Amino acid sequence: MLELIPVGLAVTTAIMAVYTDVFRDRIIPDKLTIPMIGAGICFHLFRGIWERNAYIASSGAIGAGVAFGVAYFLWSVGGWAGGDVKLFTAFGALLPMYSSPRSPAPYASDYPLFPLSILFNSILMMVPILLIYALTCLMRGIGIFYEEIKITDLREGMIPAEYIYEKGGKIMRWSTIFGIHPRPEGDKFFANPRRAAGLTRYQVRTLKRLVNDSKLKNTIKIKKGIPFAPALAVGLLSAILYGDFYWTLVSLLGGI
């Protein structure tokens, strides 16, 4: 029964994250994810102390670290937003290890790597949806991950897909490809793709002023907001109720 506590917290967190990310504010609030990260780490710490098991005591922190490392990489290449990173880290802290009923992966049930099962399931279940989305975008002749809008239509919080900065008194632009280009050298930045919170109000005003002063072309590439909370929620639920889809495939192909 004790193990059901973090499961219940993780499922509740997933449901609330889907609600806020899809139906309400299009964000996953820190007041939801940060407390759950702390709750997961503390739960396993106190349980490990009670059972005199250092491995269990440290599993929450390790699971959170593993989840954060993977999520941070996905954020750095432009795939996830900051809320997705913290949500996945919360899952790692709450459920670092879990033995699924039908197809548990050894690396997830014996080691604090259950976040990988959640991620694998999320990816596999989202592939068909993403393929349909990508095909639709291609047929309509629009970008899959980015769209080009007028700077005069910019709003606070939008995430740019290019750097706009000042260097030596000149306004420069540097487009990114999936966010993997290093940050260019500049004196002052007006648009930074690596800022998870997006453009500030001041940056939006500055960019519009540069357009009005004819110092900047009135277009900017903006990252499309794809809510990943539903995918992570489905990955979590399927991993809890069934197991690791990736391990199932490996078992079938390897005859395990």
At residue 1, the pLDDT reads 74
Per-residue b or e along 211-247, where b marks 16 or more CB atoms closer than 10 Å to that residue's CB: beeeebeeebbbbeeebbbbbbbbbbbbbbebbbbbb
Enter the pTM of the model.
Answer: 0.74
Distance between CA atoms of 111 and 42, rounded to whole angstroms? 18
Q: Write out the two tokens for 78.
A: 């432009």
Listed by start position, the domains of the chain span: 4-134+227-254, 146-223
- With beta carbons less than 8 A apart as the criterion, state whether 186 and 165 touch: yes
Q: Within 10 A of 130 (CB to CB), how many other CB atoms are there?
A: 13
Distance between CA atoms of 114 and 124, rounded to whole angstroms? 16
CATH placement of domain 4-134+227-254: 1.20.120.1220
At residue 226, the pLDDT reads 67
Q: Which of 29, 125, 36 is nearest to 81 (CA)?
A: 29
At residue 124, the pLDDT reads 87
In the DSSP assignment, the letter for residue 155 is: -
C-alpha angle with apex 29: 28 to 34, nearest 5 degrees?
110
Distance between CA atoms of 208 and 150, rounded to whole angstroms? 10
At residue 225, the pLDDT reads 62
- With beta carbons less than 8 A apart as the criterion, state whether 132 and 205 touch: no
C-alpha angle with apex 33: 27 to 37, nearest 5 degrees?
155
> Consecutive 10-residue runs of the chain (256 residues): their mean pLDDT?
90 94 82 96 96 94 96 78 90 94 87 94 82 74 75 86 89 70 80 78 93 93 77 93 89 72
Question: Tokens 């357009």 label which residue?
Answer: 211
- With beta carbons less than 8 A apart as the criterion, state whether 110 and 25 touch: no
At residue 180, the pLDDT reads 52
Distance between CA atoms of 217 and 207, rounded to whole angstroms? 10
Q: Write out the two tokens for 243.
A: 């197991």
Distance between CA atoms of 114 and 106, rounded to whole angstroms? 9
At residue 78, the pLDDT reads 64
